[in-house]
Amino acid sequence: MLLAAAMAAAAATAAARAEGAASAAAANGIDMPPLGALRAATCVTCHGAARPVSGSQIPRLAGMPAQRIEQAMRDYAAQAATGDLMGQIARGYDAQTVALIAQWYAGLAPEAP
């Protein structure tokens, strides 16, 4: 449980830093990845990006409808879905951030494992 809380706090801190870096880069004319991709950096660790994590039972999110991802995150945050780590992570994001992540994943074409 303590590990999950630490990971959620780290994810929130990393997301805030990524948003600040993206804003600064844009102000200086530097091309940055979409904010949804930056916010999803923590998710990619377990869920992969377009390619699923090899040998994992964790669902890949690439190409999944954004509404489904958003609902799953709401369920985890409300503890309506099981998963201690996902619950901690979901409670660390606001609805706008979840929407950015969900839209980014929904726009990815899934690759074969």
Entry pTM: 0.67
DSSP assignments along 49-104, one per residue: SSSPPTT--SPP-TT--HHHHHHHHHHHHTT-S--HHHHHHHHTS-HHHHHHHHHH
CATH class for the domain made up of 2-106:
mainly alpha
Q: Provide the residue ranges of all domains of the chain, joining segments of one domain with +.
A: 2-106
Query: Tens-digit pLDDT profile for the chain (113 aa)?
Result: 554 454 445 445 545 555 554 565 556 566 657 788 888 888 988 898 877 677 778 888 999 999 999 999 999 999 888 778 899 999 999 999 999 999 999 999 887 76
Note whether 46 and 89 are within 8 A (CB).
Answer: no
